[in-house]
Chain A
Amino acid sequence: MKKVFLVFLLVLACSGLVVAQTGTKKKRPLASDYGNVVMNNYSEKSGMSAVVFSHWLHRARFTCRLCHVDIGFAMKADGTNIKAIDNMNGYYCGTCHNGKRSFKGVEKMFEACSKKLTPEDGKRCDRCHSLGKNVKREYDLAEFTAKFPKERFGNGVNWELAEETGVIKPLDFLDGVSIKRPALTIQKDFSLDAKVEGMPSIIFSHKKHTVWNGCEVCHPEIFIGVKKGATKYSMIEIFDGKFCGVCHGKVAFPNLDCQRCHTKPVS
């Protein structure tokens, strides 16, 4: 009996060690779920399902800057503290989802949160408040992006190329919200040396990033240092969602796609 107990303890200790060394594998999200953000500051507290925000659909139409600077969405889920009344007042989601605003291909954006709630409104609420519900989405990723350039990871779309080739034309200005500004003077690209020997260095393209982000999305909130190399970070921190990892790995192409950043030929 004692022997059995000892063997059991040994097996338990070994398996504990194995698990501690290897960790648990993170499940990769489906292409259509990649980038989705769940917002739940107040929803469940007020008896509604949490909001599931589809990043891919919005990024196909708008720049990151438009929403994260001009509309004021925080870069972290639940960082904005959106209330229904904010949307009703025409801010945040309600900036566009007001039952009036139209865009190319969309006649009238549905209204997000309205003061008067009719029984028919239930379905409309479910379009956003959909966590845990089996809601049929109006837009299907595969269908919507059928003609978009493809990529291996993330949403399976090469968004950068899609923008560059004009397949998508993300809107960067909203009447009544955005401020008229002169065209952005694009800063120079620069290289960041890889810390591992044999790994190609990174060529950081300011041009590619400013198309989507302008200046304020990244500076100084994400990249604080003003001189090249002043902000020190490692791949571990990036995988942990800091620095480049604020976007890459959550919405922009994931960090698994090494060669999209490490592009400088090794001499």
Chain B
Amino acid sequence: MREKAKSLAIALAIALSVLFGMPLLTSGAFIAAAADVAQDNWKTEFEDICSKTQDSMAFTSDELKSLVDRCDALKPRIEKLDETQKKVYLKRLQMCRDLLAFVMQSKLEK
């Protein structure tokens, strides 16, 4: 719900910027809201990456490399979460990354 409201606010800001010029887009409030949304979307990104572990054998090594890179990019965002969430999701992300890297290595060694 909170996420939806933020997305709506950003969409509104963009629409107003188109109408009234660019200054609104570069305002501090807009940048902060956009950063918040990006931080909130960590779970979507996490689920998207880790949903691919079961069929990881079907991916090419390049696709696997890209997934591993996405894991690495996601890590700092998870590190900003509260202590419990950080503990749970860092471990889950690590397991996911390790498996993808493992499959990638097996493909490269073939």
Contact = CB atoms under 8 A, between A and B. Distances in A.
* A, B in one complex: yes
Interface of A: 69-72, 74, 81, 83, 85-86, 89, 91-92, 179-185, 187, 214-216, 219-221, 226-227
B84 A220 contact: no
8 contacts: A72-B91, A86-B88, A91-B88, A216-B95, A216-B96, A216-B98, A219-B99, A227-B106
B50 interface: yes
Contacts of A86: 84, 87-88
Contact of B98 (A181, A221, A226): A221
Contacts, number: 71
Interface size of B as a range: 20 to 34
A7 B51 CA distance: 71
A85 B52 CA distance: 31
Given A226-B102, A226-B106, A181 B53 contact: yes
Given A91-B87, A214-B53, 8 more contacts: A89-B82, A181-B52, A182-B51, A184-B55, A185-B54, A215-B99, A219-B102, A226-B105
Interface of B is mostly: helix
A227 B107 CA distance: 10
B88 A92 contact: yes
A181 B51 contact: yes
Contacts of B57: 185, 187
B12 interface: no
Sorted nearest first, the 5 A-B pairs with minimum C-beta distance are: A226-B106, A220-B102, A72-B88, A181-B54, A216-B95
